[in-house]
């Protein structure tokens, strides 16, 4: 994919502050960090979203997400870490290349999680669970 921003970073056509690299994975600092140390972990082969990311690649990338998360937490002395993957525009995905955000969090960073909302009743949650279960078949 010639126009993919992250593919251009992989090919060194665009500079990035690279944290880690091997044959399958690249990790680099986000240029618009939520907090300093915010790092992106990407597969080197182009896949747009988790939906088309092969299980084998996901299995191989998971240990590196953990490794980078630990390094970010200790490297910036964070109180915690968020690991997030946005898929589709409605979920906030901007670059159409599968990537995981490792965001260092601090007790006083002023950031809050998105608001939750309870189900109206047990019947509503049971119906929702059934709809999702039916898609696993």
- Overall average pLDDT of the 7-23 stretch: 96
Distances in Å between the Cα of 95 and the Cα atoms of 10, 18, 22, 72, 129 are: 14, 18, 21, 22, 31
State the DSSP H helix or E strand holding residue 87, giving kind and residue range, or none if neither.
none
Residue 127: its pLDDT value, please? 96
Q: Please check the confidence at residue 1 and state whether its pLDDT lies above 70.
A: no
Predicted confidence band at 137 (pLDDT cuts at 50, 70, 90)? confident
Give the active site residue among 38, 97, 99, 101.
99
- Overall average pLDDT of the 99-109 stretch: 97
Structure token pair of residue 7 = 């593919």
Catalytic, 113? Answer no
Predicted confidence band at 3 (pLDDT cuts at 50, 70, 90)? confident
CATH number at residue 109: 3.30.428.10
Rounded-to-integer distance, Cα 87 and Cα 101, Å: 12
Report the number of distinct structural domains present in the chain.
1
For 112, phi then psi, to 5°, come to -130, 155
Domain that holds residue 59: 5-135
Q: Please check the confidence at residue 97 and state whether its pLDDT lies above 70.
A: yes
Rounded-to-integer distance, Cα 136 and Cα 132, Å: 7
Contact 28, 39 (CB under 8 A): yes
């Amino acid at each position: 994919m010639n126009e993919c921003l992250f593919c251009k970073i992989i090919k060194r056509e665009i500079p990035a502050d690279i944290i880690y690299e091997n044959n399958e994975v690249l990790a680099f600092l986000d240029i618009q960090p939520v907090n300093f140390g915010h790092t992106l972990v990407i597969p080197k082969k182009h896949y747009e979203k988790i939906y088309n990311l092969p299980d084998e690649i996901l299995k191989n990338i998971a240990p590196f997400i953990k490794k980078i998360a630990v390094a970010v937490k200790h490297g910036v002395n964070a109180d915690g870490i968020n690991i997030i993957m946005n898929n589709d525009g409605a979920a906030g995905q901007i670059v159409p290349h599968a990537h995981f955000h490792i965001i260092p969090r601090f007790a006083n960073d002023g950031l809050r999680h998105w608001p939750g909302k309870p189900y109206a009743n047990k019947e509503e949650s049971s119906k929702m669970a059934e709809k999702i279960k039916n898609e696993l078949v």
